[in-house]
Structure 1
Amino acid sequence: MTQRLSPATAAMLAAAPLMWAGNAVVGRALHTLIPPITLNFVRWLLAFVLMLPLAWQVLRPASGLWPHWRRYAALGLFGIGSYNALQYLALQTSTPLNVTLVGSGMPVWMLIVGTLCFGVPATRRQVVGALLSVAGVLLVLSRGSWQELLALRLVPGDLYMVLATISWAFYSWLLVRTSEPQDVRGDWAAFLMAQLVFGVGWSGAFAGVEWSLGHTQIHWGWPLAAGLAFIAIGPAILAYRFWGVGVQRAGPVIGSFFINLTPLFAAVLSAAFLGEAPHLYHAAAFALIVAGIVVSSRR
């Protein structure tokens, strides 16, 4: 059942893609300094260390985490171990335009995964909202010219982004399908730490495979350190906090429409830091995406 959005919930669901837009910008900037899977592992390892003072109690043997370890292992796999690793990997061989275009299908994948795997059929409003939202993203990606979309050429990185998007759809549905143990449910730090315990393990295992294939070159320095600090605090900790609470309140389908604000926020960040002025089609795309959110969230 769809739910109405409160201003606080909408603000949380909007803050997450704002930080993830920054993550895409920084991830692209770091792609020549560190291998993509290793970047994901180091990012989450730093987040784990930062979260220890806030949620170390989750690691105790008597914690409610361990009886529910399968749930947190799945959340850690789909949300931490897989999604960003696949996104960083996609940016190695695909263009930012292609990656963002593939990621813009999130509402569609959310509806498909919910219907086929979680027994939640899509409503007519949700389908209409998904189409409006995707149309808004396509308008941004095409820069107001559909000829630019027709000129796209798919590369292996696009497949990685498809897998990343599907992974995030499973993660979002799992957020609302199972209740938490009492000592984890009411504490956002404990809930994130419960995912990090397994997510760091998954991302470390994937990084080990990457290193076994010979991708071991890391260029340490202040640019890499600053980038890691940002993605470990903002997109990793704060964005996951906002997304988790927002999805639990509004549902994964409505939340998925907010993800399509990411390319718009990226355009704003580009204007702020790269001197690229926004255009009229940015305003039109914003209107379409907001219309999709409103239509899908009405009762």
Structure 2
Amino acid sequence: MTQPIKTAWWMIALPLLAVLIWSMNIAVTRYVTDYISPVSISFYRWLVAFLILTPFMLFRVIQEWADIRPHLKQLAVLSAFGMVMYQGVAYTAAHYTTATNMGIINAFIPVFTIFVSMLILKDIPNRYAVVGSLISFAGLIYVMGQGNITALVQSGGHLGDVLMIAAVFFYAFYGVFLKKWQLKIPLMQSLYVQIGFALLYHLPFVLWMGLDTVNAENGPSVIYAGIFPSLIAPLLWMLAVQWIGPNRTSIFMNMMPVFTAIIAFFWLKEAWTVYHTVGGIVIVAGILLAQKRH
């Protein structure tokens, strides 16, 4: 009787650990802003991941090139949205907002995905999705205005929060394109090729802006970003999707604002305020309602 219980707990632990790793990466992204440019950490992150995967994946990709080649354009698009625009804009947003706000806004991925699905897949959202999205958006506006909507309107918004909203919007496109195409390519090979495209996309920016040197202050953040959120968390998430299903797995993403806020509070000494509590509850409640089917 004990074995099934242990197995169930391990299955639940997989998406929780993945979300914890991604939450930690948001805090790392905010922490490292003083030590390395957004272009540099983004490039180094994918370079580290590419170098780690190459001994295991290069030969497999060569062997399966006939199956991969017809999908190169799709993999290039996925890389652009999921690895370059999403993460690159998020690294830039970290210079202008807090990790706590970034974590809260990141929770909007399921809501934005609903509307991108409507645009691309012609998947009309139900009334719960519409109402839940509006509720979540109200909570987001409340957080961005720090509890004062009038001040937000007068100031025109906060650049970092606006950039993070754009980043999350890009990631929603990534998820919808994955669903639309459903590429018949092994997941790790797909990840490896996408990372290769990400490095190519970075080259013009690297040549234009240059690269910061990896040193003792930014090196650990680069290594963490290149290994844990880039390789380990996606693998855990993919296993969770296979074992407990995509719908049950996606709900765990709602823990990201909580994990990020706790990490930011203890590590970055960011304050958790009343408006974060009120806005966060409203946002998560709206997201849960938006995912209701009937």
Verify same fold: TM over 0.5.
Answer: yes
Contact 1:175–1:247 (8 Å) recurs in 2: no
- Correspondences of 1:35-46 after superposition (within 5 Å): 35-46=37-48
Distance 1:160 1:275 in 2: 23
Distance 1:137 1:8 in 2: 33
Match of 2:228 in 1: 234
1:122 Cα deviation from its structure 2 partner: 0.8
Match of 2:191 in 1: 195
- Residue 212 (1) aligns with residue 207 (2): yes
Distance 1:7 1:127 in 2: 33
Measured against aligned partners, the alpha-carbon deviations of 1:6-35 in whole angstroms (never above 9, x if no partner) come to 998876555444323222221222223322
1:139 Cα deviation from its structure 2 partner: 5.6
Match of 2:94 in 1: 91
Contact 1:101–1:138 (8 Å) recurs in 2: no
Partner secondary structure for residue 121 of structure 1: coil
Distance 2:259 2:140 in 1: 11
Distance 2:199 2:41 in 1: 10
Q: Pick closer, same or farther for the CA change 1:127–1:239 going to 2, 3 Å.
A: farther
Q: Identify unmatched segments of 5+ residues in structure 1.
A: 1-5, 185-190
Distance 1:125 1:294 in 2: 9
Measured against aligned partners, the alpha-carbon deviations of 1:229-250 in whole angstroms (never above 9, x if no partner) come to 2111222112323445667843
1:294 Cα deviation from its structure 2 partner: 4.1
Q: Match for 1:196: what amino acid?
A: Y
Q: Match for 1:240: what amino acid?
A: P
1:129 Cα deviation from its structure 2 partner: 3.0
- Residue 113 (1) aligns with residue 100 (2): no
Measured against aligned partners, the alpha-carbon deviations of 1:73-111 in whole angstroms (never above 9, x if no partner) come to 22222111221012112334x333776676565344322
Deviates more, 1:159-168 or 1:100-109: 100-109
- Residue 68 (1) aligns with residue 64 (2): no
Contact 2:144–2:157 (8 Å) recurs in 1: no
Distance 2:71 2:264 in 1: 42
Distance 2:284 2:115 in 1: 21
Q: Pick closer, same or farther for the CA change 1:74–1:178 going to 2, 3 Å.
A: same
Contact 1:30–1:224 (8 Å) recurs in 2: yes
Match of 2:260 in 1: 266
Q: Match for 1:212: what amino acid?
A: L
> Equivalent of 2:129, from 123, 126, 130?
126
Contact 2:86–2:168 (8 Å) recurs in 1: yes
Deviates more, 1:80-89 or 1:56-65: 56-65
Measured against aligned partners, the alpha-carbon deviations of 1:242-276 in whole angstroms (never above 9, x if no partner) come to 44566784369x94x75554333221112332456
- How high is the sequence identity, in percent, across the aligned residues? 26
Looking at secondary structure, tell me which structure has more helix per residue: 2
Match of 2:174 in 1: 171
Q: Pick closer, same or farther for the CA change 1:129–1:241 going to 2, 3 Å.
A: farther
Deviates more, 1:14-23 or 1:230-239: 14-23
Partner secondary structure for residue 65 of structure 1: helix
Partner secondary structure for residue 33 of structure 2: coil
What TM-score, normalized by structure 1, do the two folds share?
0.74
- Equivalent pairs counted in the alignment come to 282
Q: Pick closer, same or farther for the CA change 1:276–1:207 going to 2, 3 Å.
A: closer
Distance 2:151 2:188 in 1: 40
Contact 1:35–1:216 (8 Å) recurs in 2: no
Distance 1:147 1:102 in 2: 20
Match of 1:3 in 2: none
> Equivalent of 2:81, from 78, 99, 117?
78
Match of 1:250 in 2: 246
1:224 Cα deviation from its structure 2 partner: 1.4
What TM-score, normalized by structure 2, do the two folds share?
0.75
